[in-house]
Structure 1
Amino acid sequence: MSPLPFSAPPSPQALGGLRVIELGQLIAGPFAGKTLADFGAEVIKIEPPPAEGSAGGDPLRQWRMLHNGTSVWWQVQSRNKHSVVLDLRTPEGRETAARLIDEADVVIENFKPGTMEKWGLGYDALSARNPGLIMLRISGYGQTGPYKDRPGFAVVGEAMGGMRYLNAEPGRIPVRAGVSLGDTLAALHGVIGILLALQARHATVTSEVPKGRGQVIDVALYEAVFNCMESLLPEYSAFGAVRQPAGSALPGIAPSNAYPCADGMVVIGGNGDSIFKRLMIAIGRDDLATDPELASNPGRVKRVAEIDATIGAWTGARAVSQVLDVLNAASVPVGRIYTAQDIAEDPHYRAREMIVPVTTHDGLTVEVPGIVPKLSGTPGAIQRRGPLLGEDTEAVLSRLKK
């Protein structure tokens, strides 16, 4: 597959005509903007100018592995966006930002609560000028409550939301997932909020408010994490049970775990009643497949150590490829634990267009994740590489109404 030529998409896009002003930096706010841009929204990213000791722009430009001074991650997080440089610390920069927001549908910010108000860019001020404006506000703890003024990063949100405590081997120090899940979960909740607010705005269209009424979407990092914690709170509320770390297993659901092979590891989800029977037959343990106590999940949970040991003994004597062949043939959910190399070499990723080559401004070809989700009628598309700092300032500002 050759690198993308960054041409117009072949069909209409779901968010075509939507104008978004992105004021956030790093991960949560910009990931929300990236998701909207993938589906046709015009996302104008406002970045700070260079200053003494700083290259300027979103700090993510300088994060992790760099090519000619710019992170290759930038080609994922800021694709399809336009970069405009404004200094929001100055009255002129703030007024120009307000004028851009006057003509926008959505503004995204992930500053500490109160920052936008300090700049005169709070929702009350902006919506007085643009009643249809929708504002996504992502912060560590939300815009209200006793913790609202605390600084919050994804790592703290994951801890407070309950995820970090569970992400450990029993008795070991909890570890992080290796990526900023709290930021991404908050961004996706923010995108859901924007789409809900747009739908609600349609219902409030009047002659006085031709676009309808906008609203604020308040997303806290810890709440986005907490919203995905399944039975954690109900089990404590009902039974006083504090769920504990369980390593690679899924407590209370059996069998679901990672198992060693002769040349690696696999994960197996054999926790459906009929799936468990097929799994046991496939590994030659018909006796367990027909054991009445193991016919449903509660019985299997009681004997999970025995089941895991049985599966582990079978996988440990075989190569990963053998385990995959046998269990896939038996319709048992199984998979190898992928590295970046495994992903890059996997034909299914390629067939689903989940690995897409793009070319940076200086000619480097980089493979980036494709578009998710996949829409049949109005699909997303990668139309622009990640912009240079301030690349679109003149073009965007020249469109402002005088």
Structure 2
Amino acid sequence: MTKPLQGLRVIELGQLIAGPFAGKMLAEFGAEVIKIEPPGSGDPLRKWRLLHEGTSVWWAVQSRNKQSVSLDLRTPEGQDVVRTLVQDADVLIENFRPGTMEAWNLGWEALHAINPKLVMLRVSGYGQTGPYRDRPGFGVVGEAMGGLRHLSGEPGRTPVRAGVSIGDSLSALHGVIGVLLALRHRDQNGGEGQVVDVALYESVFNMMESLLPEYSVFGTVRQAAGSSLPGIAPTNAYLCADGKYALIAGNGDGIFRRLMEVIERLDLRDDPELARNDGRVRHVARLDAAIGAWAAERTLDEVLERLNEARIPAGRIYDVADIAADPHYKAREMILDTQLADGTPVQVPGIVPKLSATPGEVLHAAPALGEHTDAVLADIGIDSTTRAAWRARGII
């Protein structure tokens, strides 16, 4: 089966999360992704989180379907290899601090001159321009500057993070969108490539919904609100009799009426002040108290059964054990059984989005460091004697 990105060649120079996550998604839908890693240490992600036999199990997800070439980009030889690879590449991904690629003689102007068709995805903390461009920036800093961290947590408490590197992942998704848009433009307009400039903070800020217009019109500075969603009611996490929480979203007008019937509060159902969201927002404490009192007398399973029967959006808060055991995850192929390099069984997340005719696929496991160095370098004409000399000098 032909994949949507089959025939696309991607050179991935990024490390850790944002750039490599973008490369992962492109590889899952058929792109050939050649990942360049520093000799000896490789991508630092290989040592992040929990390790098995010295390598992060995260690596099995982030680098599946990729080829690994070990190459020191600080050397003239390493830079020459990249320039040669770029001649036949469609996309180059990098997520270094702005100016790093230029210091290696691998900036946009140099690479565009070699291959005018090239699309260059550049992910950084603050973008390639502006007064902050030279500052180091990780996803967590982008989450803070983008407005997300201020809204996370309980009112009056220390702002909390999402628990995953969401700023990096959001940037990767924006990067993939940008790459596909640039490729579409290239193929429709004479084959000219361009730069896709993705900033971590902007990717987060792009998800902030009505945050800025509310401030510009009303002067409102939105604050953290715990498990509720300010301005949309009722929606919250409600404690059940067995100590578990039910997430209940009764904020649609018809849904609200059904919810009030389930909890036997017809007085609230029929109150004209509560018929629309703006009225419910004004009385959100009263609604949360009524729903909370009803949930507190029932187990989580009882609550969810009643609400599902009434077609009211509700659910439990999953931990990873819940995810691994859930039949819907399995039915949707969101949990894949595979193996680590030594044969150890491992479950990894499936592929999204789901395409009906050309779905993504895991074709091969994440590579060992430098696993494809010799094959890739031989393909561009670097003979075994030269490779041996480079390996002795630590270039590959």
Cα deviation code 1:296-348 (max 9, x no counterpart): 00110010001001111111111111111000000000000000000000000
Alpha-carbon separation, structure 2, partners of 1:121 and 1:204: 25
Answer yes or no: is 1:44 the counterpart of 2:34.
Answer: yes
1:175-214 residue pairs with structure 2 within 5 A?
175-205=160-190, 212-214=191-193
Helix, strand or coil at the partner of 2:379: coil
1:301-312 residue pairs with structure 2 within 5 A?
301-312=281-292
Identity of aligned residues (%): 67
Aligned to 2:272: 292
Superposition deviation, residue 15 in structure 1: 0.5
Answer yes or no: is 1:122 the counterpart of 2:107.
Answer: yes
Helix, strand or coil at the partner of 1:398: helix
1:288-367 residue pairs with structure 2 within 5 A?
288-367=268-347
Alpha-carbon separation, structure 1, partners of 2:10 and 2:94: 11
Alpha-carbon separation, structure 2, partners of 1:401 and 1:234: 56
Alpha-carbon separation, structure 2, partners of 1:203 and 1:341: 47
Answer yes or no: is 1:156 the counterpart of 2:136.
Answer: no
Answer yes or no: is 1:243 the counterpart of 2:222.
Answer: yes
Alpha-carbon separation, structure 1, partners of 2:357 and 2:373: 33
Superposition deviation, residue 204 in structure 1: 2.1
1:220-299 residue pairs with structure 2 within 5 A?
220-263=199-242, 264-299=244-279
Alpha-carbon separation, structure 2, partners of 1:343 and 1:20: 32
Q: Which amino acid aligns with 2:275?
A: A
Unmatched segments (≥5 aa) in structure 2? 383-396
After the TM superposition, which of the residue ranges 242-251 and 392-401 deviates more from structure 2? 392-401
Quick one: which of 97, 116, 119 aligns to 2:82? 97
Q: Which amino acid aligns with 1:246?
A: A
Q: Which amino acid aligns with 1:267?
A: L
Unmatched segments (≥5 aa) in structure 1? 1-10, 51-55, 206-211
Aligned length: 381
Quick one: which of 126, 146, 157 aligns to 1:141? 126
Q: Which amino acid aligns with 2:80?
A: E
Contact conserved, 1:110 with 1:137, CA < 8 A, in 2?
A: yes
Alpha-carbon separation, structure 2, partners of 1:119 and 1:168: 42
Output the aligned Cα RMSD.
0.8
Superposition deviation, residue 360 in structure 1: 1.5
Answer yes or no: is 1:20 the counterpart of 2:20.
Answer: no
Q: Which amino acid aligns with 2:339?
A: T
Aligned to 1:165: 150
Superposition deviation, residue 101 in structure 1: 1.5
Contact conserved, 1:170 with 1:246, CA < 8 A, in 2?
A: yes
Answer yes or no: is 1:31 the counterpart of 2:21.
Answer: yes
Superposition deviation, residue 106 in structure 1: 0.1
Helix, strand or coil at the partner of 2:10: strand
TM-score relative to the length of structure 1:
0.94
Alpha-carbon separation, structure 1, partners of 2:83 and 2:354: 34
Superposition deviation, residue 401 in structure 1: 5.0
Cα deviation code 1:207-232 (max 9, x no counterpart): xxxxx000000000000000000000
Aligned to 1:382: 362
Alpha-carbon separation, structure 2, partners of 1:316 and 1:248: 17
Alpha-carbon separation, structure 2, partners of 1:72 and 1:174: 29
Q: Which amino acid aligns with 2:21?
A: F
Alpha-carbon separation, structure 2, partners of 1:262 and 1:180: 33
Helix, strand or coil at the partner of 1:259: strand
Helix, strand or coil at the partner of 1:170: coil
Alpha-carbon separation, structure 1, partners of 2:23 and 2:55: 20
Cα deviation code 1:341-365 (max 9, x no counterpart): 0000000000000000111120011
Alpha-carbon separation, structure 2, partners of 1:396 and 1:320: 55
Cα deviation code 1:214-273 (max 9, x no counterpart): 000000000000000000000000111111111110000000111111220111110000
Counterparts in 2 of 1:136 and 1:354: CA distance versus 1, 3 Å? same
